[in-house]
């Protein structure tokens, strides 16, 4: 609708003998516009803060909006009055609905979603996301800035336990499963990058006293994997993809992995390559086949046994999707970078001496100086601290002394958040379309905790025919 600047009518002092004033059409138009303006601003605040909104309005539309103005809107001290241009500018910052949504090949839900790395891979393979769960408020900002979350066919949840009710011991299993079935839409595939947690018997005695201790309900109790199991049991998707760190197999002396495998088997699912114990494990996929970064993650992909679509499915077929023209590390670098990303002389000297000391002891600790044709080390969630695992070489020479003037001028630098988005495959080389609405510190944490998108596009691609077959049989 067209938004007009209107004068707020004066309040009329009322008494018992004063008839209620009639509301004019102009006043109704103003009230409707103010409500729509505030609803839009509230949505935008899920991604951007007050200062960012003011800057965006000023950049797109001119004017002198300030953080304080937006604050007054939020606190109700002042009604927002957006011009038509301003309203349109804010409306267009949200991700557009993918063209295949509404006619997708399959549907999926995205649990422990982070910034949507697994989702993006399955989106690109023709799937449609119908439910997202992520509790970290900063990750939610980045997720909503980059993935379509609108419409009636998608819902967003923060704490997954509010869905599974796993934190409420007094809730019966029947009530919990009914609650899950009501709040989570039917879907074909469940995606989850769940945290790695040890399994213990803590809290099991309460379940036992209520006569509900059996199988995964006992073994996985108190972990977020338990919530995943409850959702699988309640919704019975065709398949699932669970992602975790490579060390999941050896975590807690292998007990964690065994409990997970037993639980998935109990739920009636076959897991790809689960019996592989020797040689290369197809479940462990190195992102270096897709991007210039070593990043090994374990992928558990499974299908419902009663649908009979598994048919010796293996993740070995992921190799069929290795790109023939993989980008180099140099390809993902920006041409011009703010000087703030260059290490200070003090930090660079500390990292250099730390690495030198450990080399002399025969240890492998130290920084990773990365050149254009190198494969980078794994980007970690602690990258914001010193960036030591992936330092971009700017011409440091080992033949010169460390303190040589040229070496000091060519100190290495951190990756920028935009370069991290390229290294993680959210966008291609030379692309900057991934929106980063958070601080550099938060962005580094988010990328360090994420997955490499092309890996999961490949996983989705090798699963797709079986997902569709299972969907048709379901």
Q: Which residues are catalytic?
A: 196
Which ranges of 220-367 would DSSP assign to H, the alpha helix?
Answer: 224-235, 255-266, 345-360
Contact 156, 149 (CB under 8 A): yes
Q: Residue 131 in contact with residue 185, Cβ under 8 Å?
A: yes
Residue 256: exposure state from Cβ atoms within 10 A (0-12, 13-18, ≥19): buried
Work out whether strand 296-304 and strand 269-271 pair parallel, antiparallel, or are unpaired. antiparallel
Neighbouring-strand partners of residue 270: 303
- Residue 16, C-beta contacts closer than 8 angstroms, at least 6 positions apart: none
What 57-62 contacts at long range (C-beta under 8 Å, 24+ apart), as own/partner pairs, is 57/86, 57/89, 57/90, 60/85, 60/86, 60/89, 61/85, 61/86, 61/89
SS3 65: coil
Tokens 């796993």 belong to which residue?
166
Q: How is 199-232 classified by DSSP, letter by letter?
A: ---TTHHHHHHTT---HHHHHTTTSHHHHHHHHH
Alpha carbon distance 292, 356 (integer Å): 26
């Amino acid at each position: 609708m067209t938004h007009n600047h209107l004068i707020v009518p004066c309040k009329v002092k009322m008494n018992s003998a004063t008839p209620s004033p009639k509301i004019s059409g102009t006043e109704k138009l103003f009230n409707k516009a103010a409500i729509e303006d505030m609803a839009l601003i509230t949505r935008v605040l899920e991604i951007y803060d007050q200062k960012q909104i003011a800057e965006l309005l000023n950049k797109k539309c001119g004017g002198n909006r300030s953080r304080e103005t937006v604050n007054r809107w939020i606190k109700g001290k002042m009604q927002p009055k957006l011009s038509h241009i301003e309203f349109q500018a804010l409306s267009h910052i949200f991700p557009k609905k993918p063209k295949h949504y509404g006619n997708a090949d399959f549907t999926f839900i995205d649990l422990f979603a982070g910034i949507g790395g697994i989702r993006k891979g399955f989106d690109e393979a023709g799937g449609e996301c119908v439910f997202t769960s992520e509790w970290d408020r900063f990750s939610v900002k980045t997720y909503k800035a980059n993935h379509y979350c609108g419409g009636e066919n998608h819902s967003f949840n923060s704490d997954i336990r509010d869905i599974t009710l796993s934190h409420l011991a007094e809730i019966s299993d029947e009530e919990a499963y009914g609650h899950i079935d009501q709040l989570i839409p039917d879907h074909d595939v469940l995606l989850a990058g769940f945290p790695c947690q040890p399994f213990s018997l803590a809290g099991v005695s309460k379940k036992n006293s209520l006569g509900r201790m059996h199988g995964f309900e006992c073994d996985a109790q108190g972990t977020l994997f338990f919530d995943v199991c409850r959702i699988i049991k309640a919704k019975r998707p065709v398949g699932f993809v669970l992602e975790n760190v490579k060390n999941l197999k050896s975590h807690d002396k292998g007990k964690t992995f065994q409990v997970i495998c037993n639980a998935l088997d109990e739920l009636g699912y076959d897991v790809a390559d689960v019996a592989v114990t020797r040689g290369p494990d197809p479940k462990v996929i190195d992102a270096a086949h897709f991007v210039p970064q070593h990043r090994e993650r374990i992928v558990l992909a499974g299908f419902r046994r009663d649908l009979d679509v598994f048919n010796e499915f293996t993740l070995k077929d992921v190799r069929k999707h290795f790109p023939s023209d993989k980008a180099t590390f140099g390809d993902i670098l920006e041409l011009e970078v703010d000087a703030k990303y260059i290490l200070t002389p003090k930090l660079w000297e500390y990292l250099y001496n730390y690495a030198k000391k450990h080399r002399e002891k025969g240890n492998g600790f130290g920084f990773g100086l990365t050149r254009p044709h190198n494969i980078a080390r794994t980007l970690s969630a602690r990258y914001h601290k010193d960036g030591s695992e992936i330092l971009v070489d700017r011409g440091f020479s080992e033949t010169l002394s460390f303190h040589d003037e040229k070496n000091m001028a060519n100190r290495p630098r951190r990756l920028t958040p935009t370069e991290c988005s390229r290294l993680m495959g959210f966008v291609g080389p030379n692309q900057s379309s991934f929106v980063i609405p958070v601080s550099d510190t938060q962005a580094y944490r988010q990328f360090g905790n994420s997955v490499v998108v092309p890996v999961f596009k490949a996983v989705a691609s090798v699963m797709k025919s079986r997902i569709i077959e299972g969907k048709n049989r379901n």
